[in-house]
Amino acid sequence: MTAGSAAAQEECFERLDNGSDMSGWHVSATNPHGPGAGWSVEDGAFTGRQTDGNQGGILMTDKSYTDVEVVFEVKIDWGCDSGFFFRTTAGARAYQVTLDHLADSGVGTIWGEGFAQELSVQPYYLTDMGNTAAAMQGETPMFDVNQWPSIWHPADFNEVRARVEGNPPQIEVWISNVKVLDFTDAQLRNEIDPQGPLAIQVHGGSERWIVGGTVQFKNIRVRDLTVECTDPGSGGAGGSGNAAGANGGGANGGGAGAAAAGGAAGSAGSSAGAGAGGGSGATVAMPQAGAASGAQATSANGDDGGCGCALPGARSPGSQTALLLLALGTLLLSRKRSPVE
C-alpha cells in the first residue's frame, strides 16, 4: 500500500513549475468554471483564487501528454474544490484526480470532468474539516481510513502522486506515499482525446469555494511514461543494479567488460560486453547499487511504478569506479604476461 518517495526518483521526472512565473502554462479560455484570472505565483507556488462573481478556471500546461506519472505538493483551504486534470480536452473535459476539500467529498478520488456519461469513483469521503475520512456506504477503500490523519494534513502541503496509463486508462493515486485508489475505466470516452494538457483547477460558483479561499500547487513533476527512462541503479526503493561493459566494451577497446554487483536494494548485475581485443572478464564488486552505462536497467518496484532514474547517457559514480578498477586490472594483467627481460 505504500510507495517509495518520488524524491528518490527525481531523475525520471521533469519539473513543470519554476516557482517564479507561469512559464509553460496558460489559462483556458473555454473552461466553464471561469476565465482563470485568479491564478498567480506566490511564495514559490501556483496560487488559485476565485475572482469577482465567483469565477474560477483552470491553468493548463502548454504541452500535451498521454501516459504520465505526476507528483506534486498541494495545500487547499477547507471549503474549496480543486483538482488535477489529465488529458484535458478543449479546456473543459478531463480525467480529474479530485482535491475536493469539502464535507462529504474526497481528496484523491476520481471525477470525469465534463463527461457525457458521469464518472465518479469515491470510495471514501472527508469529515471534520478534512481531519478524518470514512468509507462510503457499500464501499471498501483500499487503505485503512482510520489512518487518514497520518496521510492527509489539512493545513499543510501534502504530496500527491497519480499515474494515468492506457486508454481507457488505469488511474492510481497515492497521498503521502500511501496508495488510496486504483481504478481502471470500463469504457472508452469518445468525448475526450487520448492526449491533452495537464491542468489545475479553481472551481467556479459559491457552493464549492469559500470567500477568500485559496489552493496552492508547487514542485509539480511529470514523468512521461511513453519515453524510456534508463535506471542507473541508485539503490533505494527497488532500483536494479544492472551491469554492463564500459561503454559496451573493455577500457579503450582492449580489455573485458566489468560486471557490477548492485547494493542492498538493487539486484546483482550480470556481466556484459567484451573489448575489441578480447581477454577474460573481470568482475568488480560494488559497495552500492550502480549501473555502468552500456546496459539498460529495469525497475524492481512493482506497485511503486517509479524508478531511481537518470536520463539516457548519464553515468553513475558506480560505473566510473568500475571503469577505473577495470583499467588498473588490465594494466596489472598485461604486465604479468610480459616476457621476462
269 shares a domain with 219: no
200 shares a domain with 86: yes
Give the chain as a 3 state SS string: CECCCHHHHHHHCEECCCCCCCCCEEECCCCCCCCCCCEEEECCEEEECCECCCECEEEEEEEEECCEEEEEEEEECCCEEEEEEEEEECCCEEEEEEEEECCCCCEEEEEEECCCCCCEECCEEEEHHHCEEEECCCCCCCCCHHHHHHHCCCCCCEEEEEEEECCCCEEEEEECCEEEEEEECCCCCCCCCCCEEEEEEECCCCCCCCCCCCEEEEEEEEEECCCCCCCCCCCCCCECCCCCCHHHCCHHHCCECEEEECCCCCCCCCCCCECCCCCCCEEEECCCCCCCECECCCECCHHHCCCCCCCCCCCCHHHHHHHHHHHHHHHHHHHHCCCCC
User: Could you list the pLDDT tens digit for every one of the 341 residues in the chain?
Assistant: 444 444 445 788 999 999 999 999 999 999 999 999 999 999 999 999 999 999 999 999 999 999 999 999 999 999 999 999 999 999 999 999 999 999 999 999 999 999 999 999 999 999 999 999 999 999 999 999 999 999 999 999 999 999 999 999 999 999 999 999 999 999 999 999 999 999 999 999 999 999 999 999 999 999 999 998 875 554 444 333 333 333 333 333 433 333 333 333 333 333 333 333 333 333 333 333 333 333 333 333 334 444 434 333 444 445 455 555 555 555 554 444 444 43
Q: Does a structural domain hold residue 30?
A: yes
Q: Does a structural domain hold residue 240?
A: no
Residue 218: give its domain's CATH number: 2.60.120.560
306 shares a domain with 267: yes
Last residue of a domain, one of 224, 257, 290: 224
202 shares a domain with 91: yes
Count of structural domains within the chain: 2
91 shares a domain with 149: yes
264 shares a domain with 131: no
Query: In which domain, by residue range, is 57 found?
Result: 6-224
